Amino acid sequence: MTDTGIGPFIEHLKKRVPFTERELNEILSCFQEKRIKKRQFIIQPEFIARHRNYVLKGAFRAYVIDDSGEEHTIQFAIEDWWISDYNSYIYQTPATMFVVALEDSVILQIDYDSEQRLKAAHHRYETWFRIMAERSAAYQQRRVISNLTRTAEQRYDDFVERYPLIVQRVPQYALASYLGMTTEFLSRIRNKKVKKKS
């Protein structure tokens, strides 16, 4: 069992706000390391999402199930990403999403109350969470725009270009449902591209 260092997490924190050593330690003391096995769920509908999760190692997928039983991927997360059911977490209401490990993983968790205390304790902590929320809002809006303006194939191309590492690590049906198409259609898109190259 290799010891997964938290170095990347500290870098991640410092990249956004220039914390002092003391501050970094206070932040770290609010996080708990946790090992999650492949196929294990860390969030499920009906339960309240109690944590914000940083991925140290591994990969996760958040998805919802619609009225007709279809799965729709809302988010992926690999190393150095955060994942949760955002609405459930910030409003502390029952989740609508599943969040499941796609591989054996290691995460760092902060629970809701600790986060509140941290934000209240010091302006700089608040700043850090404000920046995270801003970036998240901006990201979600870009996704809305992409869904409205791009065709299925264009969305796939965009995704491959922006997140080539994720494409290789997640099952195709999960990617298809993230991009808003069926797995069959994504299969056709990919196949067409292979043919073109020859």
153 binds DNA (CB under 7 A): yes
> Based on CB atoms, which residue is closest to a second copy, 7 or 69?
69
Residues 11-70 that bind DNA (CB under 7 A): 70
- Contacting range for a second copy; rule: CB under 8 A; set: 27-35, 130-138, 163-171, 184-192: 130-138
163 binds a second copy (CB under 8 A): no
Choose the contact partner of 182 out of DNA, a second copy, none; CB within 5 to 8 A by kind.
Answer: DNA
- How many residues touch DNA under the rule CB under 7 A: the total is 18
Please pick, from the candidates 92, 116, 141, 151, the single residue that binds DNA as defined by CB under 7 A. 151
- Contacting range for a second copy; rule: CB under 8 A; set: 31-39, 123-131, 161-169, 184-192: 123-131
Q: Which residue has the tokens 């809701």?
A: 112
149 binds a second copy (CB under 8 A): yes
Residues 133 and 86: their CA atoms lie apart, in Å, by 10
Residues 115 and 45: their CA atoms lie apart, in Å, by 22
Residues 7-36 that bind a second copy (CB under 8 A): none
Tell me the CA distances in angstroms from 123 to 9, 11, 19, 108, 117, one per residue in order: 20, 20, 11, 23, 11
The token pair at 94 is: 């029952």
Residues 75 and 174: their CA atoms lie apart, in Å, by 10
Please pick, from the candidates 5, 25, 171, 193, the single residue that binds DNA as defined by CB under 7 A. 171
Please pick, from the candidates 11, 29, 47, 133, the single residue that binds a second copy as defined by CB under 8 A. 133
What is the binding site for DNA (CB under 7 A)? Answer: 70, 151-153, 171-173, 180-188, 190-191
